[in-house]
Structures are given as C-alpha cells and as structure tokens.
A and B are shown apart, each in its own frame.
Chain A
Amino acid sequence: EPEVTQTPSHQVTQMGQEVILRCVPISNHLYFYWYRQILGQKVEFLVSFYNNEISEKSEIFDDQFSVERPDGSNFTLKIRSTKLEDSAMYFCASVDNTYEQYFGPGTRLTVT
C-alpha cells in the first residue's frame, strides 16, 4: 500500500538554525499539508499546498516558515530561524480524491 514518507525521523537543532523537513507524498495525490503536534497536544494545521502554491495557512505559519515542492516528488517545510517553541512532531499529509488525508510518520524536531 502506498504511504507518505518523511525524513529525518528526528532532527535536533540549535535555536536560530535553519531546518528543512522532507516529505514524499503518495505519488498520484495533488494536495499536500503540513501539521504539527506539540508533545501531548492536538494536531494543528500549518499549511496546505496545491498546484505549486500555498492554498491556506494558519496563524502559526509565519514568515519563518516556507514550503516548497522542488522536484515533483518531495514536499519540504523550511523553518528559517528555529525557536524553542518550534519543538514538536511535524506531520506531512497528502490527500486523494475522496478527501481522505494520509499522514506520514512524522519528524520529531527538537530545538535546543
């Protein structure tokens, strides 16, 4: 069964550093998403992406965040200057034509 993959599984970075989280959505899906989950809390929407542009973003997704689909298969989330409060699990998701969102296993980001 096709699945969404994410790398790395765990990223440790120092405050102020840039990080790039990578996702490979399911190949025939056209809509992509990033969500985050702070430890013990609910999953929060960050951004949705379609046709090579952002279709919606949340208040969390400020100027420090950006997304890109550089090569038709990867979907990346960049945080330019990480803060302690960016520590969380980051989930990528892609959706098929039934609106069912398929989530990846997540990247645990730890900012020290």
Chain B
Amino acid sequence: GESVGLHLPTLSVQEGDNSIINCAYSNSASDYFIWYKQESGKGPQFIIDIRSNMDKRQGQRVTVLLNKTVKHLSLQIAATQPGDSAVYFCAENPKTSYDKVIFGPGTSLSVIP
C-alpha cells in the first residue's frame, strides 16, 4: 500500500546551521511530492514541491532532493532561523492531480538560538 514516512521524528539544530529532514515513500508510482511546514496552531503551509522527473529543486533557502532509486525525499534548509521551528511534513500526490495529498507523520524541527 501507499505510505509516506519519516526517519527522524525530532531534529534540533543551532541557529545558522543547515537542517536536513528526511522522508521515505513506498509508492514508486507517485510523481509529485510536497513539503509542508506547520507552525503551532496553524494549518500546513506549502514550502516546496518536486515532480518525479526532477532530482533537485531549489527555493529560497530550501532545497528538495528526490532519489527515486531508493524512494527517498529530503528537505534542506540553509542557515536555519528560529522562525523555521515547526513540524515539517513530506507528502505525496500520487498522480500529480487534484486528488488528495497523502501526508507523512512529520518531523519536529527545533532551532536553538
């Protein structure tokens, strides 16, 4: 069956360091992946996405890497700031469509000032 999961449930980093959050997925047919940030008391907020025909995509201070061979997704945050403290979810949209998004269990990122 489909599943999206995370290797590390919590991550603490020093302010200014880079953060890497990892995610594994099991549905090799999935072709669209998204990272969401959820701050306390708020809804998930889109950070960055990547389609299966890409290996890497960069945004502002964030980079998503996709390794289809091992079905692994990662989110890199450069120069982590206190405002980056949140729970990060990887998610997949199996058909790059208007279908549901399947969320992973989440990683809590804590930035130490």
Contact = CB atoms under 8 A, between A and B. Distances in A.
A99 B102 contact: no
Contacts, number: 56
Interface size, B (range):
20 to 34
A33 B100 contact: yes
Given A45-B102, A100-B49, A105 B32 contact: no
B93 A104 contact: no
Interface residues of A, number: 25
A105 B43 CA distance: 5
B96 interface: yes
Contacts of B98: 31, 48, 50, 55, 95, 99
B43 A91 contact: yes
B54 to A, nearest CB: 15
Contacts of B97: 99
Interface of B: 32, 34, 36, 41-46, 49, 89, 91, 93, 96-106
